[in-house]
Amino acid sequence: MAKSILITGGARSGKSSLAERMTLGLHPTATYIATAQAFDAEMAERIAHHQARRGPEWTTHAEPRDLVGALEATDGTRPRLVDCLTVWLSNLLLAGEDWQGAAERLVAALPRQAAPVVLVTNEVGAGIVPENRLAREFRDAAGFLNQAVAGVSDEVWLCVSGCPVRLKPPQGEEPTP
C-alpha cells in the first residue's frame, strides 16, 4: 500500500501549491489527475493558470468523472496528485451520477494503490447553510466525501492562508510509512 495524503482548506488557501510541492517531494516526476472541465472562459483561464504553474516534471491526465479509473490507469512508480475532489463531486452531481457509489469505490481503491496519491479537496462546510437544494446537497456530499477519504488517508493537512497544518497523524506522531 502506498501513502495517501488529503489536503483540504478553503478557496485560495494554498492547497494546490502545497499539494504540488508534497507530490514532487515524493518523486522528481509525477502525474497530475485533473478533474476540472472548462465550461466557460473563466474556468478555462483557471485551468490554464494551474497548467502554467506546473513544469515539465508533470504529466497531466484529465478525468472529470472516472477518478478510480484514472488512478488505476496511472498507478505505477510515480506519485499522482488529484486536483480536486470537490470539482469531481460537482461533475458527478451535475451529470446525475451516483456520487455515493463513486465515493465508496474511491475509498476502497486508495489503499490498493502501489504509488502515492495526494488528493486536494475544499472545506465547504464552515459557512452558512446554502439557500437552495442543490447547494445544500453539494455541501453535505462534500462533507461525507471528505470524511470518508480522510478516514483512509495516511496524512490529512488543512491549509489556511497559505499555512499548512497537519491534522492526521497529530503533530508529534510520525506518519505511517
Residues serving a catalytic function are 50
What is the Cα–Cα distance from 16 to 7, expressed in whole angstroms? 8
Task: Give the residue among 133, 30, 41 at the shortest CA–CA distance from 83.
Answer: 30
Note whether 2 and 114 are within 8 A (CB).
yes
Cis peptide before 170 (omega within 30 of 0): no
The alpha carbon of 175 is separated from its chain's Cα centroid by a whole number of angstroms, namely 19
Is residue 117 a contact partner of residue 2, using CB atoms and an 8 Å limit?
yes
Kind plus residue range of the DSSP H or E element containing 33: strand 30-34
The torsion angle over the Cα atoms of residues 80, 81, 83 and 84, rounded to 10 degrees, is 80
Q: Which residue has the cell 496524512?
A: 155
